[in-house]
Amino acid sequence: MKATCIVDSDFIVGPVRSRTFGSFVEHLGRCVYTGLYEPDHPTATPEGFRSDVLDLVKQLGVTTIRYPGGNFVSGYQWTDGVGPVDQRPRRLDLAWHSTEPNKVGVDEFMAWARQAGVEPMMAVNLGTAGVDQALALLEYCNAPAGSYWADQRVANASVEPHRVKMWCLGNEMDGPWQMGHKTATEYGRAAAETARAMRMIDPGVELVVCGSSGVGMPTFGSWEHEVLSQTYDQVDMVSAHAYYFEEEGDRDSFLASAIDMDYFIDSVVATADAVKAATKQSKTIGISFDEWNVWYQHRAESRPPSGDDWPVAPVLLEDHYTVADAVVVGNLLMSLLRHTDRVYSASLAQLVNVIAPIMTETGGRAWTQTTFHPFALTARHAVGEVLKTAIDCPSHDTAKFGDTPLVDAVATRDPATGQMSVFLVNRSCEEAADVEIKLRGFDSAAIIEAITLSHVDSGWIASADDPSDQVLSVNTTPVVAQGRVCIKVPAVSWTLLRLATVAED
Ligand code: AHR
């Protein structure tokens, strides 16, 4: 199969945003307990954080972390998680039918985020709680010493405010599974009032209002319209969540999941802009794609405990990812990048153990999944600006998305260094692709390196004993001639091609 891709130095979509490479930590399963935090672990820091996990988090290159949920936040009393640890209550977590020991709360998370070098993004409970609790949490986190909640922070953790910029106004509030879920009208009002009051404490916060919890929800579209109509003045971003999985016998549709993400983003943008026009606003709303990943939700590992079983940190949502899953994760990240003009922030859900690129053995090793690699390589090498790419390639029919192009590409370039990264995906299960990249508006280009993620068995999964980095290999096929780069990429693969370029004056 042959494919052509055109990249023009003048066609810039927007800046590569570091917040595109965020992730998500929820009090769910073993994400926090025995994931981030395990005081008895041989690598534990004095604060009880696993330093083997911290090292992998840094290698992954994540920039922001959304916390503490997720479904969990809609029943969470944040005050349970501050103050002397031995006096904190154990509570039932209704979202995941577990027991929350409250050994980790806001201050521990802020300390962990500092050590990991990531920006915290907090979510407030608009399910079982409301304006009051959100205001108390914001005062606790961001107000200078001298008021009740700020002084509690000073007593518990630090004189210096945590200074959290990004705040989510609840989570998936249209979902019937959500504690305190609401109609669009009810939620829009609650979110507007919460946002307005939060800005009275800290006008500099960046607020994310809940979009519909999925593109397949009956409320999708009308929810965004109603909620934004009520909150437009007060918020900066609207959230989007999407999870994909391979249905038995339909790998072709699965490999094309980024088509759905493209559609999802375009639809939310259209709805936000319709509200902008109707309400005669000048500001533009961005998207916080604050939950995205591959998730095999129907499998046994995603089933919460039941009955009288309320365990602490049970094994939950511990999906093990194939090479094909990693190719899809890489492609979803490409979709986020090509929408960098409107996707202001994103969070791979989640970070450790729970549908995660990083896994841990309790008391033992930390290891990486196949999905770790496209994320880490993109976070490191997507720098500067996103350039528009035009692709001409064969397509095939897929059950979910109809006629679908077999090759996808996105390019970034750092104008300061001239370094360009081209990310390529071959969605064909049968054929390799010979991709010709035509570089327009460049005086020269030279190959720095090319790395391909693939495997003879695209269903291969890594484990603690079988390291995931064997899915990566140096791609030796690229050649440059007369403003073109040619590269061969295998079936079911994701590739990073790095070039040194000089743009025309
Ligand atoms: O990430 C797992 C769950 O998926 C989150 O708790 C929820 O927001 C979403 O439905």
Look at strands 206-209 and 22-24 and give their pairing. unpaired
H or E segment to which residue 274 belongs: helix 257-278
Q: For the stretch 225-261, what's the b/e string if a residue is b when 16 or more beta carbons lie within 10 angstroms of its beta carbon?
A: ebbbbbbbebbbbbbbbbebbbeeeebbbbbbbbbbb
Tell the residue nearest (CA) to atom 2 of ligand 1.
70
C-beta separation of 413 from 485 below 8 A: no
Encoding tokens for residue 350?
């989640």
| Helix, strand, coil percent content, the chain, rounded in steps of 5 | 30, 30, 40
Ligand 1 pocket mutation, candidates 67, 71, 208, 302, criterion most atoms within 8 A of CB:
71
Question: CA 83 to CA 90: how far, in whole Å?
Answer: 14
Minimum CA distance residue for ligand 1 atom 3: 70
Among the atoms of ligand 1, which is closest to the Cα of residue 175? Answer: 10
For residue 395, the CA-to-ligand 1 centroid distance in Å is 33
pLDDT at 482: 87
Domain ranges of the chain: 2-10+385-503, 17-381
Residue 335 Cβ inside 6 Å of ligand 1? The answer reads no
Kindly give the number of the ligand 1 atom that is closest to the alpha carbon of 171: 8
Contact 9, 441 (CB under 8 A): yes
Q: What's the pLDDT score for residue 505?
A: 85
Does the beta carbon of 211 lie inside 6 Å of ligand 1? no
Q: Length of the chain in residues, anyone?
A: 505
For the domain made up of 2-10+385-503, the CATH class stated in words is mainly beta
Pocket test for ligand 1, best of 24, 26, 296 (most atoms within 8 A of CB): 26
Q: Does any ligand 1 atom lie closer than 6 A to the CB of residue 71?
A: yes
Q: What is the pLDDT of residues 404-442, one digit of tens each?
A: 999 999 999 999 999 999 999 999 999 999 999 999 999
Residue identifier of the C-alpha nearest atom 6 of ligand 1: 70
In whole numbers, what is the pLDDT of the chain averaged over residues? 97
Average pLDDT over residues 207-226: 96
Mean pLDDT calculated for residue range 289-314 = 96
Q: Which residue in 128, 285, 282, 118 sits closest to 210, CA to CA?
A: 285
pLDDT value, residue 177: 96
**pLDDT tens, 87-141?**
999 999 999 999 999 999 999 999 999 999 999 999 999 999 999 999 999 999 9
Is residue 100 lining ligand 1, measured as CB closer than 6 Å? Answer: no
3-state secondary structure of 452: strand
Cα 110 from Cα 441, distance rounded (Å) = 45
User: Is the distance from CB of 224 to CB of 243 less than 8 angstroms?
Assistant: no
For range 389-414, the mean pLDDT: 97
Ligand 1 pocket residue status of 293, Cβ below 6 Å: no
- CB of 349 sitting under 6 A from ligand 1: yes
Q: Which two tokens stand for residue 142?
A: 């961001």
Three-class secondary structure of residue 60 per DSSP: helix
CA angle 135, 137, 140 (to 5 degrees): 110
pLDDT at 459 over 90: yes
Counting from 1 in the atom list of ligand 1, the atom nearest the Cα of 172 is 8
Each residue's pLDDT tens digit, 37-96: 999 999 999 999 999 999 999 999 999 999 999 999 999 999 999 999 999 999 999 999
Task: Give CATH for domain 17-381.
Answer: 3.20.20.80
Q: Which residues pair with 494 in a beta bridge?
A: 425, 453
Instruction: Just list the catalytic residues.
Output: 172, 291
Whether ligand 1 lies within 6 angstroms of the CB of 224 is answered as no
Q: Which residue has the tokens 């990429």?
A: 489
The distance between the two most distant Cα atoms of the chain, rounded to a whole number of Å, is 70
